[in-house]
Amino acid sequence: DGGITQSPKYLFRKEGQNVTLSCEQNLNHDAMYWYRQDPGQGLRLIYYSQIVNDFQKGDIAEGYSVSREKKESFPLTVTSAQKNPTAFYLCASSYGGAGGDNEQFFGPGTRLTVL
């Protein structure tokens, strides 16, 4: 069954701690993305990766880090430098290649709460 999985579904963190959110896809997609959503707001891009071992900053990358060591996986680390990390985090992926079908699909999300 193909799709995008995110774990955990809910995550609680104490101030000053780093946490890593998992995102895995088995759709053979080249590109993966991380978005943040605050209550009542739209989605804002944190980081994206078009190919393994390469990634680019989005609009709100400060306080976050990513890695892309495997095509299937794109973990997001929320560091202690992120001033207001409580939010809903969504991972997405899409097929890559110029002229290809770039429809983007989303995982179910992780709700992070800083205590």
Partner 1 sequence: GIQVEQSPPDLILQEGANSTLRCNFSDSVNNLQWFHQNPWGQLINLFYIPSGTKQNGRLSATTVATERYSLLYISSSQTTDSGVYFCAVKGDRISGNTPLVFGKGTRLSVIA
Member of 26, 28, 108, 113 binding partner 1 (CB under 8 A): 108
Q: Are 106 and 92 in contact (CB under 8 A)?
A: yes
Is 54 a residue that touches partner 1 (CB under 8 A)? Answer: no
Is 106 a residue that touches partner 1 (CB under 8 A)? Answer: yes
13 versus 45: smaller Cβ distance to partner 1: 45
50 versus 80: smaller Cβ distance to partner 1: 50
16 versus 38: smaller Cβ distance to partner 1: 38
Is 45 a residue that touches partner 1 (CB under 8 A)? Answer: yes
Q: How far is CA 34 from CA 47, 98, 105, 115, in A?
A: 5, 21, 12, 23
Member of 17, 26, 41, 113 binding partner 1 (CB under 8 A): 41
* DSSP secondary structure string for all residues of 5-66: EEE-SEEEE-TT--EEEEEEE-S--SEEEEEEE-TT--EEEEEEEEETTEEEE-TT-TTEEE
- Looking at residue 99, its amino acid is G
Binding site for partner 1 (CB under 8 A): 30-31, 33, 37, 41-45, 48, 50, 58, 88, 90, 94-98, 100-106, 108-109, 111
